Amino acid sequence: MVIERSSVKQNDCWNVEALFPSLKEWQENFDTMVPTEKPRWPQFNELKEEVHDGDPETIKAIFDLYFAVDRLLSLLYTYAHLRHDEDITSEDEKIAYSKALSAIYDFGEETAWIEPALIALDSDKLKAILSSPLLEEYRFHIEKIIRVKAHTLPKEQEELLARASKALQTAHKTFSAINDADFKFGKVLDSKGNEKELTHGLYGLYLREQDRELRKNSFFAMHGKYFDYENTLCELLQGQIQSHVFSSQTRNYSSCLEAALYPKNIDTEVYHALIGAVNNGISSLHKYASIRKKILGVDSLHLYDMYVPLVKDVDFHISYDEAEDLIIESVKPLGDNYQNLLRQGLKDERWVDRYENKNKRSGAYSSGCYDSMPYILMNYKGILKDCFTLAHEAGHSMHSLLTHLNQPYQYGHYPIFLAEVASTFNEELLMHLLMERETSKERKIFLINEKIEDLRGTLFRQTMFAEFELLIHELAEKETPLTPQLLRNEYVKLNKKYFGPEVTIDDVGGIEWARIPHFYYNFYVFQYGTGISAALSLADKVLHGGEKEREDYLSFLKGGSSLYPIELLKNAGVDMRSTTAMKSAVDKFGKLVNELDKLLESSS
């Protein structure tokens, strides 16, 4: 039974009180620090009148003020969104979250003129700004602004777009409300006729059960709910994509993909190269499906058969406390300082909100801000996958912490392109530890299967999502209406291509696109594929290298956004302009599948 939030033990909750003791104190701080009368920050209007002179002192004053306000709002928002996610139906927290978002939108609107005003300066003034010692701390930030000059609109139009930003988030916010709060999945039957409650968190658990009837019923019940609302969900997704089309066309990009990647200095060819590398190695996924079908002994392999462990009698239940200990031990190759910081965060500072409760946000994430500890949302169930998820989120958190400790605020957030590198790196360290300690052949088979599943989920599945996301954006750019039937048909085609002839794609499985929140994130998912490719390469260097390789990686974690993401990775030892790391990741999957096949053959 899923418990109410009020019944959760304090030690199982993240320490949000470290930010503000209560919602009352948060509200008092919000009321004191965030003006209600608009413009909320009139100081920007005063600086606006002076910026055309290009005086470095004025530019410095603008960025000093901008980052001071941004830092404050980030702190207020972090508390509000964490409290909101504990129980997304709670009215007071919902209001606080809305207030924080409104302040952020207003801040964006009132400062939308800064970049176009800076870009509008003539080349001599821009050169003087970039060479001024006064602006040394902001030089790279200013260079990034100037880089998108061709795609920045006059300040009046930028202000108009900023005003529209809140409305353009409606589709995403509505999907989140429906998916995380409104949808109830009821109960499903197992093979013995027992009723089981179905939630987002329990769904992943049931798909790993040996009880095939429970897996099947859970799969059909979960996807059936989305199928019932496919027209509404289709319109929401189409609305989100149209906002991307609107933004890219308004800013004179050639495509939505270019609009998403260009500001980060990532060539669109990196996206296409990932899809190409995975497609070229897709036969290994087909082979894995054949092995799975044979071992499970089923006449027809379905998507609900793709997650159950192939070794039936291995008990890999891991309590939350045991998971923490394993993860802390696994990061020993990164040195004492890294290990001690992580131990302190998990054991003493209560970074983690551990278990599922009623109306808690589903899934897992790492959050926090520059002036807070990291915060990790979990819905821990005790399976091995949950242990890896905790390692994954701890990787994010340590990346954030080391960035915050080593960079000024303006460079204290790592770029999205790098977001999945540190997290996947830590998963690889955990797997290395578990495989190193294991002596049982059956448990090794289990672990290899888990690693294959990790790669399948992170490299192949996310690349399939990336391919689907690119397709539906390209269709929208060609003004092709996105209908539920079109989305189902295209999604089924991709599933058949990726899984191969051994897997039966049930009709209801074609609706899976409707429950993937990442399709609202504007070309985010491909970074799981590039991230795991870079992480595997870096982990190999650290595990088999020496002090230099470790320090190069730690320097990467400390780099924040002080360089473009491609350059930060290159300094750490991986060049993502080449396909080497992507091909290597695909090859590793193939080698693991072959190793699994041999071990299974020798066990039969």
Q: Return the active site residues.
A: 393
Q: How far, in Å, CA of 137 to CA of 470, rounded?
A: 37
Q: How far apart are CA 526 and CA 275, in angstroms?
A: 9
Q: Which helix (H) or strand (E) covers residue 465, if one does? A: helix 462-477
DSSP 8-state class, residue 140: H
Outline where 111-252 has alpha helix (H). 114-119, 123-131, 139-147, 155-168, 170-177, 200-206, 212-228, 230-250
Residue whose structure tokens are 């109830």 = 184
Strand partners, 189: 195
* Residue 309 preceded by cis peptide, ω within 30: no
Long-range contacts from 324-331, C-beta under 8 angstroms, 24+ separation: 324/390, 326/387, 326/430, 326/433, 326/434, 327/387, 327/390, 327/391, 327/394, 327/426, 327/430, 329/433, 330/391, 330/426, 330/429, 330/430, 330/432, 330/433, 331/398, 331/426, 331/429
Q: Give the pair of three-digit tokens for residue 571.
A: 């300094």
CA 323 from chain centre, in angstroms, equals: 21
Q: Quick check: 428 and 454 in contact, CB under 8 A? A: no
Q: Which residue has the tokens 């979250």?
A: 97
How far, rounded to the nearest angstrom, does the alpha carbon of residue 36 sit from its chain's CA centroid? 33
Those residues with Cβ within 8 angstroms of residue 350's Cβ, 6 or more apart along the chain or in another chain: 11, 13, 14, 15
- Print burial letters for 433-469: b (CB count within 10 Å at least 16), e (below 16): bbeeeeeeeebbbbbbbbbbbbbbebbbbbbbbbbbb
**What's the rounded Cα separation, in Å, for the pair 57 and 53?**
10
Rounded distance, CA 186 to CA 116, Å? 51
Eight-state DSSP code of residue 125: H
385-409 as b/e, with b when 16 or more CB fall inside 10 Å? bbbbbbbbbbbbbbbbbbbbebbeb
The Cα–Cα gap between 538 and 452 comes to 19
Q: What 8-state DSSP symbol labels residue 519?
A: G
On the 0-12 / 13-18 / 19+ scale of CB atoms within 10 A, 136 is exposed
